[in-house]
A and B are shown apart, each in its own frame.
Chain A
Amino acid sequence: MKKTFAIGGVHPHDSKLSRQSAVEELPLPETVAISMAQHLGAPATPIVAVGDKVLVGQLIAEPSGFVSAPVHSSVSGTVKAIEPRADLAGNPVPHVVIEVEGDAWLPEIDRTPNFVGDMTLSAEQILARIKEAGIVGLGGAAFPTHIKLSPPPGKKAEVLILNGTECEPYLTSDDHIMRDRPDEIAMGAQIMMKALGVGRCYIGIEENKPEAIKAMRIAAIRFGGLEVVRLKKKYPQGGEKQLIDAIIGRRVPSLGLPIDTGAVVQNVGTALAVYEAVQKHKPLIDNMITVTGRCLPVQKNFLVRIGTPFSKLLEAVGGIPENAAKIISGGPMMGKAISNLEATTVKASSAVLVLTEKETKRRPEGPCIRCGKCADACPMGLQPFLLYKLAKMNRPDEMEQEKVFDCIECGCCLYTCPAGIPLLDLIRIGKADVMKIMRSRKK
């Protein structure tokens, strides 16, 4: 029986163009620019100086605050600059710029393909390793993993859920790591289960990835307490709240945290990074990125060092086609449009998607015909048409009553609206106001 979440959702065409193209290692760029703000929380503080020589995997920035993560060099070479540079949206963010010289790794990193299945560390030691390795959630939010694996006092984790849904159209990076490295992911899950002190782990994978389901099922048999759950294809199944609902049938309360249901959700990519950090001493310095789009001559999956410019990724598939209209970092439903192609990849980058004007064009906005399709599609059971109106009339109090803070910004409402009304655009603006008001009230 295929499971899925109960409320709302949409079914965009899955467009997994790069499903069958094998993973390639992207050639090293001449320079990398590593962002200091690539995780949720405070930006990291650089500890290297201009002119320093660094090795692959060497610590170059320390966390600065509770919610923060260290950053490591993804290449070997000389630090050329430490300066603010524009990120993909054009906002200045401190970067450490390193000129690449050779490919020399820190000696303690185990680069052999050997699988390391023995693990005798305690939960505290595991958490310390994960923290030192700078691991953040690779599903998109980039929340530091060690914090997520340490439930706040009074809350108890009961189950670990690995997110292998990859419900965004076009993306195939998680599909590939599940097919190619199922044992490592399963071992990563074991390590996180030990850190959390739970005995059970579900791996949720959507039905359109049969090879990944098979590979993970075989791996799950080798390790205890793991179970692969085949899920129906439906967006946004990879949303944390939707995934918990789909797999264990519990709903995260409004304004609550996933841990309130006893579940901790981690991406399969994060599980792999945890395995590499704990068993192979490898900090998070590279990730799998899908470069895709119908207008590209080829669609590929690359293993990419963090800090590589997006332009290099596009060059590797033959450059930007003439008819490209929008380039997106991430999936088409929640990814961010790139305005600056010299911006560089970060830990949570998962894809570069090139869309033509025809594919991405919004239809002209017409009057609301009150079909209610946005409310049917909303996975949080909100009424987007109402929130949109309230946002337009600037009524934050009523937006709060209508639980705008529950909005996960998945985009189902805007995707589905037959009248082409920019529902989510306005709701986002209104939601930001409401959140500000709610925070100021708490103080």
Chain B
Amino acid sequence: MSNLIVSPSPHLHGPESTRRVMGDVLIALLPVTLVALLCYGWSVLILLLSGVATCVLCEYLINRFLLHRPCSVGDLSAIVTGVLLVLNLPPAAPWWIAVVGAVVAIGIAKMTFGGLGQNLFNPALVGRVFLLVSFPVLMTDWTIPHGLLQDHLPSLSAQVDAFSGATPLGVAKEGLGAGSTLQELFAGGQFNWNMFFLRPGGSVGELSALALLVGFLYLLCRRVIKVTIPLTIVATVVVLSAIFSAVDPARFTGPLFNVFTGGLLLGAIFMATDYVTSPMTTLGQIIYGVGIGVIALCIRYFGSYPEGVSFSILIMNCVVPLLNKYCKPRRFGKEAK
């Protein structure tokens, strides 16, 4: 010892790092990703590989040749974006869809704003919405690719045959548009337990609510996210849809249906809680969550798209800077006199 470090306090530092946070998100995404791989097979694996590789490569190239900054791939955030993007794609989508989405997500939504921490919108959702608007047919083709699980679970393959890929939200939107009532469309009830455990059809990450909830629990235990945003989104959707479906059960779907179909849980747990694009104080997070719930449900009920979670999160992303400015944390002690 000859040179002592002299720097201001504190001299200890907590265990958390950006890399660890992102790593935890990846671990939390494992259950649903694994279930999807088993259920949909190669198709999803190819999407994952092409999506994640493009995200990482894109970030590396832009840092290296456009921004001339040190490589930031090590913080794992590009991988998180890649996985989230793929979870928001239809399982039968061709590989280049993931590539295009990844280029938009990282190249446009993230790096043009200045990289991690600077982007206004959730990169994976920008990628998805870009694809949805540009390739509407491919992005709503809910063909179910064949995976390992379908061979071994007779009930699952029966489901696959019965649904032939249509999403419940799509069924509701089209059926109602054609003049049917919900009672006619869902004779066996709107909600069934398959929606909770395993229900093919819809985006890759919408496959199993249970797997999403396992990831959610992990994130809560590791204190990566707080319960505020997911809870307010789900609670808003539950309360509003309970009111609407009570008023007109023939036209408006009920709370359980709305929570367990479509991308609501995926969005509430993994997309709306993105640190960079969500408010930092509890009050801001509550307003943000309520906003997402209201807009998502309005799009489902009154919009022309069957599903509105992506749009609602992106719309509320715009409000985040304002929420951060006006929602202050609870201060210690009042002003003297």
Contacts and interface: CB of A to CB of B under 8 A. Distances in A.
Interface string B316-333: 000000000000111111
Contact of B331 (A254, A355, A416): A254
A10 B281 CA distance: 17
A380 B332 CA distance: 5
Nearest to B22: A369
Nearest to B7: A337
A275 interface: no
A324 B328 CA distance: 42
A143 interface: no
A378 interface: yes
Most chain-B CB neighbours within 10 Å: which of A323, A324, A353, A376?
Answer: A376
Nearest to B117: A367
A260 B334 CA distance: 12
Contacts of B328: 383
A1 interface: no
A438 interface: no
A385 interface: yes
A370 B276 contact: yes
Interface in B1-51: 1, 4-14, 16-18, 20-21
Interface string A308-351: 00000000000011111111100011111111000000000000
Contact of B5 (A334, A337, A417, A425): A337
Contacts of B6: 89, 326, 337-339
B135 interface: no
Nearest to A380: B332
A411 B332 contact: no
Contacts of B331: 254, 380-382, 403, 406
Nearest to A339: B6
A418 B11 contact: no
A210 interface: no
B335 interface: yes
A153 interface: no
A178 B21 CA distance: 41
Nearest to B21: A418
B213 to A, nearest CB: 22
A415 B13 CA distance: 4
Contacts of A366: 18, 72, 75, 116
Interface string A20-44: 0000000000000000000000000
A375 interface: yes
Interface string A371-393: 11101101111110100000000
B113 to A, nearest CB: 11
A306 B17 CA distance: 41
Contacts of A373: 16
A372 B275 contact: yes
User: Which range contains the number of B residues in contact with the other chain?
Assistant: 35 or more
Given A325-B4, A333-B10, A362-B13, A254 B18 contact: no
A26 to B, nearest CB: 22
Given A7-B330, A381-B332, A332 B5 contact: no
Contact of B11 (A254, A360, A379): A360
A424 B12 contact: no
Contacts of A382: 329, 331
Given A366-B75, A369-B21, A411-B9, A12 B4 contact: no
Contacts of B72: 366-367
A197 interface: no
Given A253-B336, A254-B336, A355 B11 contact: yes
Contacts of B329: 7, 375-376, 378, 381-383
A414 interface: yes
A337 B279 CA distance: 36
Contacts of A328: 9, 11
Given A254-B332, A339-B4, 16 more contacts: A254-B331, A260-B336, A321-B1, A322-B1, A325-B5, A332-B11, A333-B11, A335-B9, A357-B5, A366-B116, A372-B280, A375-B280, A381-B329, A383-B329, A419-B117, A428-B8
Interface of A: 7, 10, 12, 89, 169, 241, 245, 251-256, 260, 320-328, 332-339, 353, 355, 357, 359-363, 366-373, 375-376, 378-383, 385, 403, 406, 409-411, 414-420, 424-425, 428
